[in-house]
Amino acid sequence: MEQRALGDGGPKLSVIGLGCNNFGMRIDAEASTAVVHAALDAGITHFDTAEMYGGGRSEEFLGAALGTRRSEVAIATKFSPRPNDEAYRPGVLADRIRTAVEGSLRRLGTDYIDVYYQHYPDADGPVEEALETLNELVEAGKVLYLANSNVSAAQITRAGEVAADQGWARFTGTQIEWSLLSRDVEESIVPAATATGLGVVPFFPLASGMLTGKYRKDEPYPEDSRLGFAKKAGAAGLARFATDENFAKVDAYTAFATENGHTVTELAIGWLLAQPSVTSVIAGATKPEQVAANVAATSWALSAADADSVAAL
């Protein structure tokens, strides 16, 4: 599988990354292992998790499933923000990061993390405190590269300036929600990432399954699907894509894909990979066959003209 460098000076990642957010939440350890092994066999080397996924079980399941093949892959994980009821004081953000990394290393069963994300920016803690602490982890060899997620364009720019001024390890990538049904990031966040030398790693590329073609307007969602799970769990946020406007868009995307001999899933991922800023697309899976479908999408290399045509639909 093709690999791309994460931003300026970051690690090489497979263009499809396995999102492990389902581990420990929607699927158990045995099913998670099957998904991980399918990903390894398909050439995926980028595995994305977080300490908050599944209450830590995602990291545990991933580490156990990788076993002796850990050195073949790049593990990306994320530390959680400070608890909402914990007031900021100097040093508390640094303590949160140091505690988090030790927990992630233990659960993953490894002595280093390839890409360590600040999952969310701290509302009150200065970015200087976060970057200085993360730089310590890089110098100690516990973390190889840094990245952030869920940040604004201004926060991306500011973090780059601080790291450069202080001579600290810098963020090399940013993870953002981006898909054919969620494109607001194109206005400012993507340009800021590109200008700062960050590789972009989109998540939710299939818009909670809307871009798989499995859903039909006015028809019940399959119970084992993400939207079916969201409805059962009362998680309305996951179902925000299921609007009349988006169903119409999906029909247009499906028609374009079919005319070119591909599926709408292949179009959704192929379109993102055609964006110059994108390094790797995070796609989750609960079954090995879903991994295969995500990997198959890399076979469609959209031209710039086709990518523009799709964006205009």
Q: pLDDT digits over 276-310, tens only?
A: 999 999 999 999 999 999 999 898 999 999 999 99
Query: What are the φ and ψ backbone dihedral angles of 105, each rounded to 5 degrees?
Result: -60, -40
Closest CA to 211 of 114, 287, 284, 309: 284
Residue 83, pLDDT score: 85
Is 112 assigned a catalytic role?
A: no
Q: Judging by DSSP bridges, how do beta strands 12-14 and 3-5 pair with one another?
A: antiparallel
Residue 228, pLDDT score: 53
**How many angstroms separate the Cα of 178 from the Cα of each of 36, 108, 128, 207, 269?**
24, 27, 28, 8, 10
Q: Is the pLDDT of residue 238 over 60?
A: no
Q: Indicate which residue of 53, 145, 215, 221 is catalytic.
A: 53
Residue 168 pLDDT class (50, 70, 90 cuts):
very high
Residue 241 pLDDT class (50, 70, 90 cuts):
confident
Segment 5-16, tens digit of pLDDT: 999 999 999 999
Closest CA to 145 of 32, 6, 238: 6
Taking residues 213-232, report their average pLDDT. 62
Taking residues 53-70, report their average pLDDT. 97
| Radius of gyration of the chain measured on its C-alpha atoms | 19
Residue 85 pLDDT class (50, 70, 90 cuts):
confident
Q: What is the mean pLDDT of the chain?
A: 93
Contact status, residue 43 vs residue 49, Cβ threshold 8 Å? no
What's domain 3-207+275-300's architecture? Alpha-Beta Barrel (3.20)
Bigger pLDDT: 236 vs 216: 216
